[in-house]
Structure 1
């Protein structure tokens, strides 16, 4: 049973990861192509976003694997045979328990270590993309607007990186409008920031108040681009990009750098731990819900709907308590309340499956009373 659970878990994880990855990749591709980035940059960012996707979908994939395997064992009468041999529901739950522990360990490694590392690298890559002036400007044959009030056009880019037939317009100032045209140009980096070196062109400055146009021709002209694009500032660290051990051992300097209190950091660690715990408990809930159905030629669709309903209840409560903890970090013990409730649900369902005679007695009582009358 454990082998079947692991096989189906891998299948559902791959399927859900592809669905979520495609959804994430569409918006990411639109943003990267708008900034003129390459396909390799897109691939790097999508790979860095995978740990964040996996940490949320692995418990759902584990739940789907447990429900599918249990339903198949029940439809093939294997569970009935095993229960007739004297196996209790608690003993049958051992493979599911081991499977849930494996899933919980995987989620814990992702949540506490891999997701913060990938998020940190993703923030750095996004900062590099935002400050990459060349990629934002170099789009052949089309007018680009890197920021509001700036228009840039280049007809062609040679193999040596030289820009041909360049046009630059700056309408950010209220008093005047500037435009530059050059037959050739280069983008170079200086100590003060990126520079646009233009050759064989002219500049036009239009004064709005005086309605006067000034035209200047030049052989070479340098124009600073750092002031046009503004500064892109990113904090060295954020709460999501810091691993759990560093959060628990956070020094005053790290607390000031992240901008969070020790309670908020501890609440974040409990959230990550709770994701791993839920990888275990929702597996037990799904198994217990299907175990109470017994054998039926019509299938266990009612029990499957019950398992899904219980999963929705657990996740809804977890999200509600999470919102309360975000507002008041001192309420962090509530983070585990939904998981404790899920464990109680699983135990009640298994107890009910272990005592089927109680249900049969209730069903037989009206029939006996009818015979006596």
Structure 2
């Protein structure tokens, strides 16, 4: 790139980076406040809290980055025009293709980053987040239950202990009502959570087990030592089923067609796959829309507010249509083409406006001048007849 192009590229990329950082921090703080329950309600450490919030960042960045590039492009073009640099470049004969080059390089870099995130990083982060949340919920004794309180989980588990003495829990009450019509109650003087071979166990000492079925038949079994596998209570003993956005791109490309979950959600698998491949097109489209609206040099007397408003409307409309196309692809495979056509159409229309817009404007100006000349000739004729 030439010196002018490097100067423009630096302005665009610095503006983009600043916008991306500011928007990401604002939205990340909002998401972090939603996860405060990990600290206050589930007794997690600050490390787990930041890990959970950090794993959600790739998904946020893939949505924020195209908008940040649009804002950065708009800011850079307004700055260049406000300092009369666009006017000087236009007067020096720099064509739109050369002026567009540093903006295109910025868009391609952002598109490559988004492509890497959507295809590889984002599904891995979602999968890691699901595994971490599952682990937190499974080990409910260490993470959820509070001393002296009866804690009831959605799965039908009620747990209580009187007090804690170091790592030992005293006065344990544990009720399991997951199976309809059957209740199992564990009572123990003390107990302790133990990790063994990647699994969490609750080891109870000196207690009894009370079992009761729907026929009101009950049995009591005393024990000196009894171990309960806590991982069985996290997801009702079932394996973790990953959603389409939590699966790798390879799993979406070559899914297990015999999987029951895939049969129920085949449309979501299809839409998620094509959304990942289409995501890198949006920063390019957003940059071209901003350039088409504001890339033409104008004097300070010529307002740019209307052009900026049209650019914002175009970006919002393009993203809304993209979301609608993604939703339609869930229901019909024929709508997959619309996922790619939406950003490509935005790119095509913007390029037409960039390269042929001045020609159309010049033609309209000449047509207006001819009309004015005709009006000036017709006025005297009408006055003479009068």
Unpaired stretches in structure 1, ≥5 consecutive residues:
none
Q: Note closer, same or farther for the CA distance 1:2–1:80 as it changes in structure 2 (3 Å cut).
A: same
Partner residue, 2:340: 336
Q: Note closer, same or farther for the CA distance 1:152–1:68 as it changes in structure 2 (3 Å cut).
A: same
Contact 1:292 1:352 in 2 (8 A): no
Instruction: Find 1:16's aligned residue among 23, 26, 31.
Output: 23
Instruction: Find 1:323's aligned residue among 306, 320, 327.
Output: 327
What TM-score results when the alignment is normalised by the length of structure 1? 0.81
Q: Output the CA distance in 1 between the equivalents of 2:212 and 2:112.
A: 66
Contact 2:157 2:176 in 1 (8 A): yes
Instruction: Find 1:2's aligned residue among 5, 9, 15.
Output: 9
Q: Note closer, same or farther for the CA distance 1:308–1:174 as it changes in structure 2 (3 Å cut).
A: closer
Unpaired stretches in structure 2, ≥5 consecutive residues:
1-7, 380-386
Whether 1:114 aligns to 2:121 is yes
Give the CA deviation at 1:362.
4.5
Instruction: Find 1:311's aligned residue among 309, 312, 315.
Output: 315
Partner residue, 1:259: 262
After superposition, where does 1:1-373 map in structure 2 within 5 Å? 1-30=8-37, 33-147=40-154, 150-159=157-166, 161-168=167-174, 184-188=190-194, 194-195=201-202, 197-199=204-206, 222=226, 224=228, 230-235=236-241, 238-245=243-250, 247-248=252-253, 250=254, 254-257=256-259, 259=262, 268-292=272-296, 294-297=298-301, 299-350=303-354, 351-353=356-358, 356-365=361-370, 367-372=372-377, 373=379
Q: Output the CA distance in 1 between the equivalents of 2:297 and 2:306.
A: 8
Q: Note closer, same or farther for the CA distance 1:177–1:131 as it changes in structure 2 (3 Å cut).
A: closer
Q: Note closer, same or farther for the CA distance 1:70–1:157 as it changes in structure 2 (3 Å cut).
A: same
Give the CA deviation at 1:358.
2.9
Cα displacement string for residues 136-157 of structure 1 (whole angstroms, at most 9, x for unaligned residues): 4542344422336544333432
Bigger mean CA deviation after superposition, 150-159 or 119-128? 150-159
Bigger mean CA deviation after superposition, 329-338 or 49-58? 329-338
What TM-score results when the alignment is normalised by the length of structure 2? 0.79
Contact 1:188 1:197 in 2 (8 A): no
Give the CA deviation at 1:309.
0.5
Cα displacement string for residues 301-324 of structure 1 (whole angstroms, at most 9, x for unaligned residues): 211111100111211221221112
Aligned residues: 365
Q: Output the CA distance in 2 between the equivalents of 1:163 and 1:143.
A: 14
Give the CA deviation at 1:275.
0.5
Give the CA deviation at 1:234.
0.8
Q: Note closer, same or farther for the CA distance 1:219–1:312 as it changes in structure 2 (3 Å cut).
A: closer
SS at match of 1:333: helix
Q: Note closer, same or farther for the CA distance 1:329–1:130 as it changes in structure 2 (3 Å cut).
A: farther
Give the CA deviation at 1:131.
1.5
Give the CA deviation at 1:256.
3.7
Misfit runs of 4+, over 6 Å = 170-181, 189-193, 201-210, 216-219, 261-264
Q: Output the CA distance in 1 between the equivalents of 2:329 and 2:69.
A: 26
Give the CA deviation at 1:51.
1.1
Give the CA deviation at 1:68.
1.0
Q: Output the CA distance in 1 between the equivalents of 2:358 and 2:99.
A: 11
Q: Note closer, same or farther for the CA distance 1:93–1:35 as it changes in structure 2 (3 Å cut).
A: same
SS at match of 1:70: helix
Q: Output the CA distance in 2 between the equivalents of 1:255 and 1:12.
A: 43
Q: Note closer, same or farther for the CA distance 1:194–1:61 as it changes in structure 2 (3 Å cut).
A: same
Contact 1:127 1:232 in 2 (8 A): no
SS at match of 1:315: helix
Q: Output the CA distance in 2 between the equivalents of 1:280 and 1:363.
A: 35
